[in-house]
């Protein structure tokens, strides 16, 4: 299977890590194709990447500015012509010995996407935030928030993932738009601690952007809460009307005030729910969410 794999490596101002990873791949998997995408690093970074041997199996791509890791992955996937694309970060050199585990899983299970699952040494705050993010993502759907940057992606997903990626750039979310053929291979290893190139502010921003653009869960939640609150307010308002007519509430204007507040609040919340439903439809069209994806045709 080695001749069917292209390793896609996005890199940003870490030429040492990218070069070491590329050389390890060339040493242990000489038939692999390699695509390195420089995500708008400084000039010296690009010059260092150019020191890699000029071979047909190695391609180096430089983006005009820093578009982000996932955008760099899409740029790399557009230049993959093999059966599988293997995505790795530029500091994943410790994962090279575990590549056969993903390849074996691909041969055995024939899944569209296979994730290699490993642990990374993080600070306490980052570890807590990661757990919270995955827990919230799990509310969106099965396996959301689960995965890693160590992925094996089958060829039939390349073009669907690349097309229309401007609306939602998160690769893992777009993968779940097109297929549920996803498997996870546990790797008994932990990456060494390294300095993250994402600040806590960047992580918060990415998480917020993902929750807004990559899923309609907040809108569906808003619509559900709106409908539920409108129903609750209707029941409470009916109760106070009953108390007025049967038990004769003596405070003047109390019943009408309560009922009007509850009724108007219920209408507002219900209206927001309807608005959220329309926004969801607009979001789906802007993001070009697929109606279906054909994996195979038999004639």
Task: Say if 295 falls within a structural domain.
Answer: no
Least confident among 168-177, 214-223, 284-293? 284-293
Is pLDDT larger for residue 39 or for residue 213? 39
Cα–Cα distance between 192 and 187 in angstroms, integer? Answer: 14
Let me know whether 253 and 240 are in one domain. Answer: yes
Per-residue pLDDT averaged across 187-204, rounded? 66
Per-residue pLDDT averaged across 286-295, rounded? 52
Let me know whether 39 and 89 are in one domain. Answer: yes
Let me know whether 74 and 158 are in one domain. Answer: yes
Let me know whether 11 and 128 are in one domain. Answer: yes
Tokens of 114: 């296979």
Task: Say if 15 falls within a structural domain.
Answer: yes
Mean pLDDT of the chain: 78
Statement: residue 196 has pLDDT above 60: no
Identify the pLDDT of residue 250. Answer: 61
Identify the pLDDT of residue 173. Answer: 80
Let me know whether 36 and 172 are in one domain. Answer: yes
CATH code of the domain containing 18: 3.90.550.10
Task: Say if 296 falls within a structural domain.
Answer: no
Let me know whether 254 and 140 are in one domain. Answer: no
Task: Say if 294 falls within a structural domain.
Answer: no
Cα atoms in the 13 Å half-sphere on the side-chain side of 194: 16
Supply the range of the domain harboring residue 242: 217-286
Identify the pLDDT of residue 65. Answer: 86
Let me know whether 134 and 157 are in one domain. Answer: yes
Task: Say if 203 falls within a structural domain.
Answer: yes
Alpha-carbon distances, residue 277 vs 115, 137, 138, 225, 263 (angstroms): 33, 20, 21, 12, 21
pLDDT tens digits, 129-170: 666 666 655 656 666 667 889 999 999 999 888 886 665 567
pLDDT tens digits, 108-119: 888 999 999 887
Let me know whether 207 and 238 are in one domain. Answer: no
Let me know whether 80 and 183 are in one domain. Answer: yes
**117: β partners:** 186
Statement: residue 4 has pLDDT above 70: yes
Cα–Cα distance between 224 and 18 in angstroms, integer? Answer: 47
Let me know whether 168 and 182 are in one domain. Answer: yes
Task: Say if 239 falls within a structural domain.
Answer: yes
Least confident among 23-37, 123-137, 283-297? 283-297
Identify the pLDDT of residue 147. Answer: 81
Cα–Cα distance between 122 and 200 in angstroms, integer? Answer: 12
Let me know whether 92 and 182 are in one domain. Answer: yes
Identify the pLDDT of residue 210. Answer: 60
Domain boundary among 213, 238, 253: 213
Statement: residue 174 has pLDDT above 80: yes
pLDDT tens digits, 85-104: 999 999 999 999 999 999 99
Q: What is the pTM of this model?
A: 0.71
Is pLDDT larger for residue 138 or for residue 5? 5
Task: Say if 37 falls within a structural domain.
Answer: yes
String of DSSP letters for the chain = -GGGEEEEEEESS-HHHHHHHHHHHHHH-TT-EEEEEE-S--HHHHHHHTTS---TTEEEEE-SS---HHHHHHHHHTT--SSEEEE--TT-GGGGGGHHHHHHHHHHH--SEEEEEEEE---HHHHHHHHHHHHHHHHHSTTTT---S-EEEEGGGHHHHHTTTTT---HHHHHHHH---EEEEEEEEEEPP---SS-HHHHHHHHHHHHHHS-SHHHHHHHHHHHHHHHHHHHHHHHHHHIIIII---STTHHHHHHHHHHHHHHHHHHHHHHHHHHHHHHHHHTT--S--------
* Tally of domains in the chain: 2
Domain boundary among 185, 213, 241: 213
Domain boundary among 213, 235, 262: 213
Task: Say if 297 falls within a structural domain.
Answer: no
Cα–Cα distance between 266 and 174 in angstroms, integer? Answer: 36
Let me know whether 206 and 223 are in one domain. Answer: no
Identify the pLDDT of residue 12. Answer: 92
What values do phi and psi take at 224, rounded to 5? Answer: -65, -45
């Amino acid at each position: 299977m080695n001749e069917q794999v292209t390793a896609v490596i996005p890199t940003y101002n870490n030429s040492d890590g990218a070069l070491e990873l590329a050389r390890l791949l060339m040493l242990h998997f000489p038939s692999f194709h390699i695509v390195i995408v420089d995500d708008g690093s400084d000039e010296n970074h690009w010059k260092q990447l150019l020191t890699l041997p000029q071979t047909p199996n190695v391609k180096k791509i430089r983006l005009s500015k820093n578009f982000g890791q996932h955008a760099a992955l899409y740029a790399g996937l557009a230049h993959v012509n093999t059966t599988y694309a293997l995505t790795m970060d530029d500091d994943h050199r410790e994962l090279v010995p575990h590549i056969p585990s993903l390849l074996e899983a691909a041969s055995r299970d024939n899944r569209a996407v296979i994730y290699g699952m490993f642990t990374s040494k993080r600070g306490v705050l980052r570890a807590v935030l990661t757990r919270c993010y995955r827990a919230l993502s799990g509310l969106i759907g099965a396996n959301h928030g689960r995965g890693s940057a160590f992925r094996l992606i089958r060829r039939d997903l390349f073009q669907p993932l690349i097309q229309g990626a401007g609306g939602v750039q998160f690769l893992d979310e777009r993968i779940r738009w097109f297929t549920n053929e996803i498997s996870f291979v546990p790797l008994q290893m932990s990456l060494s601690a390294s300095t993250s190139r994402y600040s806590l502010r960047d992580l918060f921003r990415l998480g917020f952007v993902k929750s807004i653009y990559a899923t309609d869960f907040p809108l569906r939640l808003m619509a559900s809460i709106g409908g539920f609150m409108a129903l609750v307010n209707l029941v409470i308002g009916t109760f106070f009307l009953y108390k007025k007519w049967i038990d004769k509430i003596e405070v003047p204007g109390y019943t009408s005030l309560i009922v009007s507040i509850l009724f108007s609040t219920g209408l507002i919340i219900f209206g927001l729910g309807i608005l959220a439903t329309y926004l969801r439809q607009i979001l789906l069209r802007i993001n070009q969410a697929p109606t279906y994806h054909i994996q195979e045709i038999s004639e």
